[in-house]
Each structure stands twice: as C-alpha cells, then as structure tokens.
Amino acid sequence: MGGSLHKISSSTSGPYGTPPSMRSIDELLKSGIIVINKQSGPSSHQVAAWLRDSFELESTGHGGTLDPNVTGVLPVSIGRASKVIKVLQESTKEYICHLKLGKDLGKNKLEEVFSKFVGPIYQIPPFQAAVKRELRIRRIYQLEILEHNSNSVLFRVECEGGTYIRNLCEDIGSILGTKGVMEQLIRTKSGPFKLEDSFSLVEAHDIFQTWKSSSDEVIMKKLL
C-alpha cells in the first residue's frame, strides 16, 4: 500500500501533487483544513456554513459534531478536503469534562469506578443524535480525574470518535448509584489537531480580510 500511495503522489500533476508548503493560498482554499475553536451556541453545521460564507468558499464540512453548548476543537474542511472528512470524524478525540454527581462519594470510589470504563464500552446514541439509535461499542483509551471537589468532578477522556460523553457521565453516575450530569464539555483534541492549533470564528474572519487586503503570512499558518 505504501508503495502505491507514493506512486500516486509522485505522478500526480497540478497543485495537489505538490507539498502544501509549496501551494498558493488560492490552492489551499480549494483543498485544506481550518481548525476552529468553536464557541458555545452555534451547531457544528452552522460554524462550517459561517466559515464558508466568511471565506467566500464553495463548500465546507466538519470533522465530528459538537453539540451547540459544547466548545473546542472543530476541524473544518474546505473544498476537495471534504471528500475525506470522514477520516477526521472517526479519529481519536480528547475532552475535558465537568461532571456533576448527585452526591459526594469520595475520590477513592470515583477512581475505582472510572477505571471500569477504560477499554471497550457499550453506548446507545441519545435521542437528539443524528444517527441511528442502536447499541454499539466505543473504546475509551484514557480516563483521568483532574480535580474532585464535593460532588463536582473534572476529568480528561481520550476516546474513539463517535463516543458520547454525556452518556458516559450518565453511566458513571449510574454505577456510582447516583445521578451523573455533564455540566460542561470542551474538546481539546480531534485527530492530530489540538486546541492550541485552533482559533475563533472572529479571528478567522479577521485573518481572511487581512489576507485579502495585504498579508499572506498569517493565513498561510492557519490553512492546513
């Protein structure tokens, strides 16, 4: 497979057969990724549509849905890159989550229960999810308690794409014998893209306008 991929790459003519660093901005705007730090409020689809209009693009897609009230890393595909966006949707994700429990059960009990969720877990997508509601397996790679104060727990989770963290919070609460509610969620990583690689929609708009009027330098760093 590696040999055939190399053969395809080396024999392709035109801008898409050249390394991204050698492509023009116009070429990158036809096939690239922009990593947005999504704010609370808009849906992932609305973010992609806003970026499409702001950057005067023909099409955009997004690499993994975030609920409107969830913030953090949202890779947005441009043009031809939308054809491979499914790879990003299925890639490993990392989140920081604030979990509110019905009662304080102590850190030792929390750590015991958290350890039970590392590995393959069963989930059924919630009613509001735009996918078929059927039992499926998702894998939790890491689950780490960062802070614990009374019935509030801050934790980090690294998981397979398509894992529902709200469901995870509810299941943790259920095993603990109490209610578990996802109070706040931030996606800190999606595939190879991290929170520090991202920028807001307002920053994206400003960078595009600056490029149109004067400078290429900043926008070149943001088009991946």
Active site residue 67: yes
Tokens representing 211 are 């490029």
Report how far residue 158's alpha carbon sits from residue 144's, in angstroms, rounded to the nearest whole number. 9
- Residue 197's contacts (CB-CB under 8 Å, 6 or more residues apart) are 35, 73, 224
Q: Considering Cα of 189, then 192, then 198, then 204, what sign does the dihedral take?
A: negative
Contacts by residues 84-90 (CB-CB < 8 Å, ≥ 24 positions apart): 85/61, 87/191, 88/33, 88/63, 88/64, 88/190, 88/191, 89/63, 89/64, 89/161, 89/162, 90/160, 90/161, 90/162
Name the residue among 31, 50, 67, 56 with its Cα closest to residue 165.
Answer: 67
The residue annotated as part of the active site, out of 26, 67, 206, 216, is 67
Report how far residue 203's alpha carbon sits from residue 209's, in angstroms, rounded to the nearest whole number. 10
Answer for the pair 110, 145: CB distance below 8 angstroms, yes or no: yes
Report how far residue 47's alpha carbon sits from residue 67's, in angstroms, rounded to the nearest whole number. 11
Q: Which residue has the tokens 């997004």?
A: 62
**Catalytic center residues:** 67
